[in-house]
């Protein structure tokens, strides 16, 4: 039997224990002292506060989602002679700095996560070091020794956690336990200029009033990279704090391979019904539902059909109920010819934008408790004003921006046309012109 202490940054003692039994089954249980702490919070919606242990299925799903899904995991597996199914064994090596404020450490080990001082706890990287990091990520080579700790960031893309200080990019001093503040991603070539497109979609979301993790694209060592601000961090007067978070897959008890609805089965899938249940468990359910539905229509409009269960998250503050995290990973995947364009979760019966109907939109809203006149008012008051400005992209000489503008206008126009048929009111301005062009094209 192997046991790891599960810790949260702001608590001095372990909050629980992750155990792998001799037969390979996993379990998680909260520590009694933690349950008695007035400041306690659940580490997941799938782990409500209780004294009984949680079984293998829920435990394996939650903790497996903390591990990276890329070459960095393979390197640890090969170096340590582990099996990919050995979640506890992998977390012994990768659990020191997991996403958010969580860590998994050998039993009895002291805490390794503490707040950081931007002025004292970081070592600035030289330009040569930064270029070497990007080059190794871009060619799937092991990271330089100075970045073996902190642990790799969970996810499929090639990325690494860094910090940005007034002096430039930096890494926490060895043994400091200080948090990183940014994630540097080197996208693959399946979607050329992906970093540029993701940064642009984040900018559009911010302009439309969304809470979105800031990001920007830049060129380093011949690679266009994305620099994304970590939404699970808080900087206050030069000190950096971690915020506990979990993605929707963890909250729903789904393993990473079920992050798309099509990979699951009824009752165990990332579908609209499951998402609605999750949102009802947040601190302010009505606000969460509104924010999620607005984000869903925005994603449709910008071509981000890859908004799967690991691309939505929850943040935990001082209360026991979480709130929605800012939007992140906003990639217009419909521009890529090397990816499928299937929805991450069905909208009504539709699995892709080209087959979406008005009835599908109504079915989606009904799953979140909006039906009849309420659904029509929601579409008219929330969705039309939200996405109609996306039709106003001006002319540009940038061919990459032009590609994005054309795709967004086409997809937004289609959505507005469907919405107009549901709210029984005529479109105006650019939305009307777009709908007319679509109708003319369909008649040819």
Length of the chain: 444
Radius of gyration of the chain (CA): 23
State how far the Cα of 123 lies from the Cα of 178, in Å rounded to an integer: 11
The structure tokens listed for 7 are 């810790």
Residue 118's alpha-carbon distances to 17, 214, 230, in angstroms, are 32, 19, 15
306 in catalytic set: yes
Which DSSP string do the residues of 95-130 spell out, in sequence order? GGG-STTEEEEETTPPP----EETTTSEEEPPHHHH
Cβ count near 138 (within 10 Å): 18
State how far the Cα of 372 lies from the Cα of 143, in Å rounded to an integer: 55
Average pLDDT over residues 404-419: 95
Judged by average pLDDT, the poorest of 98-107, 144-153, 434-443 is 434-443
* Ramachandran category for residue 253: left, alpha or beta (phi over 0 → left; psi -120 to 50 → alpha): left
The structure tokens listed for 422 are 């549901």
Strand ranges inside 280-390, DSSP E: 313-316, 323-324
Residue-range domain boundaries for the chain: 2-106, 116-239, 245-316+340-443
Is residue 440's pLDDT more than 90?
A: no
State how far the Cα of 110 lies from the Cα of 108, in Å rounded to an integer: 6
**Model pLDDT, residue 82:** 78
| Number of helices and strands in the chain (H, E) | 14, 16
Task: Tell me the pLDDT tens digit for each residue of 211-259.
Answer: 999 999 999 999 999 999 999 999 999 999 999 999 999 999 999 999 9
Catalytic residue, from 306, 329, 360, 411: name it. Answer: 306
Task: Tell me the pLDDT tens digit for each residue of 251-310.
Answer: 999 999 999 999 999 999 999 999 999 999 999 999 999 999 999 999 999 999 999 999
The structure tokens listed for 382 are 């929330």
Question: Do residues 19 and 5 lie in contact, with contact meaning Cβ atoms separated by under 8 Å?
Answer: no
Residue of 109, 58, 24 whose CA lies nearest to 93: 109
Element (H, E) at 210: none
Place of tokens 């126009």: 413
How does 377-411 read in b/e, with b if 16+ C-beta sit within 10 Å? ebbbeebbebbbebbebeeeeeeebeebbebbbbb
Residues 6+ apart with CB under 8 A from 174: 149
Is residue 122's pLDDT more than 80?
A: yes
The structure tokens listed for 433 are 């012109």
Question: Do residues 404 and 332 lie in contact, with contact meaning Cβ atoms separated by under 8 Å?
Answer: yes
Q: Which residues pair with 242 in a beta bridge?
A: 233
Q: At what angle do helices 399-423 and 429-443 cross, to 10 degrees?
A: 90
State how far the Cα of 313 lies from the Cα of 302, in Å rounded to an integer: 20
Task: Tell me the pLDDT tens digit for each residue of 347-366.
Answer: 999 999 999 999 999 999 99
């Amino acid at each position: 039997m192997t046991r790891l202490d599960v810790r949260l940054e702001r608590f001095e003692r372990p909050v629980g224990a992750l155990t792998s039994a001799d037969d390979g089954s996993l379990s998680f249980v909260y520590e009694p002292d933690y349950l008695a702490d007035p400041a306690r919070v659940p580490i997941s919606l799938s782990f409500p506060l209780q004294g009984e242990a949680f079984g293998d299925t829920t435990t394996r799903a939650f903790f497996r989602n903390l591990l990276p899904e890329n070459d960095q995991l393979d390197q640890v597996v090969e170096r340590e002679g582990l099996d990919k199914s050995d979640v506890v064994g992998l977390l012994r090596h990768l659990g020191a700095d997991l996403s958010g404020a969580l860590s998994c450490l050998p039993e009895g080990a002291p805490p390794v996560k503490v707040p950081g001082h931007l002025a004292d706890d970081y070592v600035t990287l030289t330009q040569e070091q930064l270029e070497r990091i990007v080059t190794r990520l871009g060619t799937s080579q092991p990271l330089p020794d100075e970045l073996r700790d902190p642990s790799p960031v969970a996810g499929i893309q090639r990325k690494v956690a860094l910090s940005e200080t007034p002096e430039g990019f930096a890494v926490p001093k060895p043994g400091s336990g200080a948090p990183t503040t940014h994630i540097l991603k080197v996208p693959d070539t399946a979607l050329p200029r992906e970093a540029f497109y993701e940064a642009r979609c984040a900018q559009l979301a911010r302009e439309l009033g969304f809470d979105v993790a800031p990001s920007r694209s830049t060129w380093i060592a011949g690679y266009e990279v994305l620099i994304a601000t970590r939404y699970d961090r808080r900087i206050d007067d030069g000190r950096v704090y971690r915020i506990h978070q979990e993605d929707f897959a963890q909250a729903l008890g789904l393993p990473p391979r079920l992050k798309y609805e099509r990979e699951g089965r009824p009752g165990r899938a990332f579908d609209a019904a499951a998402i609605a249940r999750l949102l009802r468990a947040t601190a302010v359910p009505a606000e969460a539902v509104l924010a999620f539905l607005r984000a869903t229509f925005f994603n449709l409009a910008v071509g981000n059909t890859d908004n799967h269960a690991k691309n939505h998250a929850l943040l935990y503050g001082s209360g026991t109920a979480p709130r929605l995290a800012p939007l992140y990973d906003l990639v217009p995947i419909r521009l890529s010819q090397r990816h499928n364009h299937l929805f991450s979760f069905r909208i009504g019966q539709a699995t892709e934008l080209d087959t979406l109907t008005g009835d599908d939109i109504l079915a989606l809203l009904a799953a979140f408790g909006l039906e009849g006149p309420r659904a029509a008012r929601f579409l008219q008051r929330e969705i039309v004003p939200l996405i109609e400005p996306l039709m106003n992209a001006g002319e540009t000489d940038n061919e990459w921006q032009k590609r994005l503008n054309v795709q967004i206008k086409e997809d937004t126009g289609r959505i507005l046309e469907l919405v107009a048929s549901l709210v029984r009111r005529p479109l105006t301005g650019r939305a009307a012109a777009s709908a007319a062009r679509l109708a003319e094209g369909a008649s040819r």
